[in-house]
């Protein structure tokens, strides 16, 4: 077994020779990692000196991204700054600075990445839906579903509202995406105890469906959501 820092092992060995191990640590494929790295590496956050890492040489951007992805992919004790420092072989301040730099770079891409689909993207989605089902369903070019994001601690204000039926403190996340997994709208912030249908009402799509759908277009949803002319629940008891 190679005896090197976990961070170096992942970037220099697993990435090339054991992609399953790379995925298990960073929760993305090597190609996805490289694509994301190429999109953020020129951001101002990664200048030699900045407010987060002043007067010092930053570690390679690939290492900063790997540290952040590893941290995001873990929960509880494994996600503590101390645990990340032991895994990456760097200081606690470096872990925090890397996370902030990567977040700054990634969030700068928000409006470019998360947007209404173009006419061409809609057509590609229609064709996929028609191929997988039938022509009558092809107007449904996107789908919505909810998931829960666990919090490490009880929030200081109104903490009970975040407590769900599984006895965890959680945030509700609604994701609207196309068949190619391109996210076009989302809602993040409602408490974990909020029902999916209620949280979905906070989305731009639900607030102004006419901006997203023509008469023959719609979003697919499961039985947790309310049936609307533009929101179709194929199988509802």
> Model confidence over 129-159: pLDDT tens digits?
999 888 888 889 999 999 988 887 888 888 8
In the predicted model, is pLDDT for residue 54 greater than 60? no
Listed residue (144, 151, 145) closest to 191, CA to CA: 151
Listed residue (116, 112, 141, 119) closest to 128, CA to CA: 141
- What rounded mean pLDDT belongs to the chain? 89
| pLDDT band, residue 235 (cuts 50/70/90) | low
> What's the Rg (C-alpha) of the chain?
21
Environment class of 119 (CB within 10 Å of its CB; exposed 0-12, middle 13-18, buried 19+): exposed
171 CB contacts (<8 Å, ≥6 apart)? 148, 149, 151, 162, 188, 189, 190, 191, 192
Rounded to the nearest 10 degrees, what angle do helices 61-72 and 92-107 cross at?
90
pLDDT, tens digit, 9 for 90 and up, residues 79-111? 889 999 989 989 999 999 999 999 999 999 999
């Amino acid at each position: 077994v190679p005896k090197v820092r976990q961070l170096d092992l992942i970037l220099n060995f697993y990435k090339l020779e054991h992609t399953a191990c790379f995925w298990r640590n960073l929760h993305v494929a090597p190609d996805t990692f490289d694509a994301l790295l190429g999109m953020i590496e020129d951001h101002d956050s990664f200048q030699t000196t900045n407010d987060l890492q002043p007067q010092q040489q930053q570690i390679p951007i690939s290492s900063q991204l790997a540290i952040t992805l590893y941290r995001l992919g873990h929960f509880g004790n494994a996600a503590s700054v101390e645990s990340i420092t032991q895994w990456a072989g760097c200081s606690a301040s470096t872990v925090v600075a890397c996370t902030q730099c990567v977040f700054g770079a990634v969030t700068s891409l928000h409006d470019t990445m998360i947007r209404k689909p173009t006419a061409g993207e809609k057509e590609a989605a229609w064709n996929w839906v028609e191929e997988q089902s039938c022509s009558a369903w092809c107007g449904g070019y996107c789908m919505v579903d909810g998931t829960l994001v666990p919090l490490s601690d009880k929030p200081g204000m109104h903490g009970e509202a975040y407590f769900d039926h599984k006895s965890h403190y959680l945030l509700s996340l609604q994701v609207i995406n196309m068949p190619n997994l391109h996210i076009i709208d989302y809602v993040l912030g409602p408490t974990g105890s909020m029902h999916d249908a209620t949280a979905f009402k906070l989305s731009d799509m639900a607030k102004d469906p006419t901006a997203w759908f023509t008469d023959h277009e719609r979003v697919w949803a499961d039985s947790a959501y309310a049936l609307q002319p533009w929101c179709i629940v194929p199988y509802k008891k």
